[in-house]
Amino acid sequence: MTNDLPLRDDTINQELQQLVNEAKRYPADSQNPTDRAKRRIALNKLLNAIRGSGKLSKQAQWIESPNYEDYYHEALQITFVEVCQKIEQYNPEYPVMAWVNIIFSR
C-alpha cells in the first residue's frame, strides 16, 4: 500500500499556487473594471479551492467552546478577507495552505 497523501498535497498546492498567481496577475489598485472583475473571480476561485481542500485547520483551541461553529466561521471569514488583501505578500516557497493556516490561527 502506497501513501498518496504527499502526492495529493503537492497537487493541491500546485492548483492553489496557480490560483494565487492568477489573482496576482490583476493589481488590486487597477482602475480597469475588467481587471478588477477578473481579480475578484480569481480570488473567489482561490477561496473556494481553499475551503474545499480539506486542509484548513480545525482550530482546536475553540473546539470545547459551545460557540465553536460561530468562532470558526468568523475566523474563517476574517482569514479570507486577509488572504484577499495580502495575496501579493504570499511567498511561493511555502505551501499555500501553510500560509492560509498561519493567518487562520491568528
pLDDT tens-digit profile, the chain (106 residues): 445 555 578 899 999 999 999 999 999 999 999 999 999 999 999 999 999 998 988 876 667 778 888 888 898 999 999 999 999 999 999 999 999 999 998 8
Is-contact 16 97, C-beta < 8 A?
Answer: yes
Residue ranges per domain, the chain? Answer: 5-105
Q: Find the radius of gyration of the CA atoms of the chain.
A: 15
Which pTM value belongs to this model?
A: 0.84
Quote the cell numbers at residue 43.
Answer: 480570488
Q: Using CA atoms, how far apart are residues 37 and 60, in angstroms rounded to an integer?
A: 36
